[in-house]
Amino acid sequence: MTKAEWTTVLDIGLPVLDEQHKKLIAYFGDLLLAIEAGKGKDVLEELFENLLDYTDYHFAEEKKYMDSIGYPETEAHVEAHRRLRIDVGHFREKLLSGQPFTPEQAVKFLNGWIIEHIMIMDTRIGDFAKNRS
Ligand SMILES: [Fe+2]
């Protein structure tokens, strides 16, 4: 059984954004469970919609936060979000076109897609916020 779970290593020290990351991972977890259970296209489509809606919301909130603290790497960060958004769109297309996808591959995608981003790029926002106060 594969799982998509938030762990403390993903904590960037900014409670509002941390909560959003938890939700994002939970949405991905729902999708993963549906893939594992072999759910049909309709269910997967709905779960993707939830994930994408929340992704858009979260990225916009993170951008607002970066602007509010004068984060110097906002531009590069927004570009990373743009690429992540494209990647999850491709993942969605692949999955819905009926290409075989194992839960292990989905977890691998999750790790590359958002976990690495949180651990590397979002952590830098947290560090910057900490050091400026
Ligand atoms: Fe981010």
Q: What is the pLDDT of residues 75-113, one digit of tens each?
A: 999 999 999 999 999 999 988 898 877 878 888 888 888
In the reported structure, the alpha carbon of residue 59 is separated from the centroid of ligand 1 by a whole-number distance in angstroms of 6
Structure tokens at 32: 């993963």
> What is the model's pLDDT at position 5?
73
Query: What's the 79 CA to ligand 1 centre distance in angstroms?
Result: 10
CATH at residue 79: 1.20.120.50
Q: Is residue 13 one of the residues assigned to a domain?
A: yes
Return the pLDDT at 16. 96
> Is residue 38 in some structural domain?
yes
- Report if residue 4 sits inside a domain: no
**CA 116 – ligand 1 centroid, Å:** 10
Domain of residue 72 covers: 9-132
Lookup: tokens for 41: 């296209």
Does residue 1 lie within any of the structural domains? no
pLDDT interval class at 133 (50, 70, 90): low
Q: How far is the CA of 38 from the centre of ligand 1 (A)?
A: 30
* Structural domain includes residue 3: no
Cα of 43 vs centre of ligand 1, distance in Å, is 27
Report the alpha-carbon distance of residue 111 to residue 5 in Å, rounded: 11
Which pairs count as long-range contacts for 42-45, CB under 8 Å and 24+ apart, including other chains? Answer: 44/95, 44/96, 45/96
Spacing, Cα 129 to ligand 1 middle (Å) = 14
Q: Across residues 29-50, what is the average pLDDT?
A: 91
Domains: count for the chain: 1
Helices (H), 1-133: 15-36, 41-69, 74-96, 103-110, 116-117, 123-132
Instruction: Tell me whether residue 74 is in a domain.
Output: yes
